Chain A
Amino acid sequence: MLNLHRCFRPREEEVASKVIDGEAIIINLANGVYYSMDKVGALVWERLQAGYTLDDVIRSVTAAYDVSPEHAESNVVELVEVLLQENLVVTSENGSSHSAEVIAEQEDKLPYELPKLNIYRDMGDLLALDPPVPGLADTPWKEPEDSST
């Protein structure tokens, strides 16, 4: 079981993402696998990116969608476990708590849908030669690791 007081932040050295028209598009630049999540999943991703604790991510979901806290917790935890397996997020020690005014209950809640990470492994080689690795000013590749791979 994941610790609900922890944050799970996107692994920004190798993971690029953007929420476009309500859909989170995520690429693992190390292997070219890309992902999408819409609706609840996109909200979860945005909140993880913003540094919310898992607890606050779940509260954001129940505040916006018509879903019981127990149901949301079990679905969000399951989703974050998949994000960890796919190596898209890492556990971050420091959680910042977001108070009630940040996570305001919406009056007209949206119909809930199970959040799902769609995984696309079909174009894995597409970016192999030209990886758009984030945050590198001088070279478009990450620093070599100790072991050659």
Chain B
Amino acid sequence: MNSSLISCIVPVFNGERYVREALESILAQTHRPLEIIVADDGSTDGTGAIVAGFGERVRYVKQSNKGPATARNFGLSLATGDFVAFLDADDLWHPEKLERQLARFQNRPELDYCVTHAQNFWVAEMAGEAKKYERHRISGSLPGYVTGTLMARRALFETVGLFDPALGHGDSTDWFLRASERGTVMELLSDVLLYRRLHPANRSRVRAANSRDEYLRLLKLSLDRKRHLNGSV
């Protein structure tokens, strides 16, 4: 049994409805030891009280509202584990998520980070939409290049850098692009280890329509950096 400490960082903004379930899915992990850090991005609802109910098992820190990238970075700055993982406050992990990912790091010492497949699920009041998309690819298992599936060596953030707070929706995409440019060694597990809740207030849903230009700019910046590294510019 690997006894590496894993820091679990949960950025949250007004997440009183689902944060308890998210934290329970972390506490239900088969791996120990864990360090759980909730980075509250300026919630004005009951999030703080719910997290306080977990007592000493969860470390709670709060910042003024600056966005999820800054909250993740805040959590990272406090993390002391050899490895770090992230869970958004409305999503859930499979109980063996960390154990199965850690096993990959044990088998492959060269591995820098590991992501997994993810499965979307709809909240009850959106049953209509769930039905509408039940045979669509978004209802199946999908490769999850999102922070909720990510487990990385903490030291990797010194190489790749932190999440960019200037980006609205694409901060994790930008991080994965930068990691790729650096030639990091990654593995995508086909196991579904993240369950992603779709609900009316989903940040990604709200942002999706506005995110196209941001993705295009990220790709342009990534291409520029790669060409610069290759010395072709």
Contacts and interface: CB of A to CB of B under 8 A. Distances in A.
Given A129-B196, A130-B204, A141 B136 contact: yes
A131 B129 CA distance: 17
Nearest to A35: B219
Interface stretch (A18-26, A70-78, A82-90, A93-101): A18-26
B177 interface: yes
A122 B145 CA distance: 13
B220 A23 contact: yes
Given A21-B220, A27-B215, A136-B209, A128 B143 contact: yes
Given A136-B208, A139-B205, A129 B216 contact: no
Interface size band for A: 20 to 34
A120 B226 CA distance: 12
A45 to B, nearest CB: 12
Determine chain A's interface SS by DSSP, over half rule: loop
A129 B220 contact: no
Interface size band for B: 35 or more
Contacts of A131: 208
A125 interface: yes
Q: Which of A25, A34, A132 has the most B CB atoms < 10 Å from its CB?
A: A132
A16 B208 CA distance: 13
B158 interface: no
A27 B220 CA distance: 11
Given A120-B223, A127-B145, A132-B208, 17 more contacts: A16-B215, A18-B217, A20-B217, A25-B217, A27-B219, A36-B223, A126-B145, A126-B173, A126-B177, A129-B120, A129-B144, A130-B146, A131-B208, A132-B211, A140-B205, A144-B132, A148-B136
Interface of B: 118, 120, 129, 132-133, 135-138, 142-146, 169, 173, 176-177, 180, 188, 196, 204-205, 208-209, 211-217, 219-220, 223
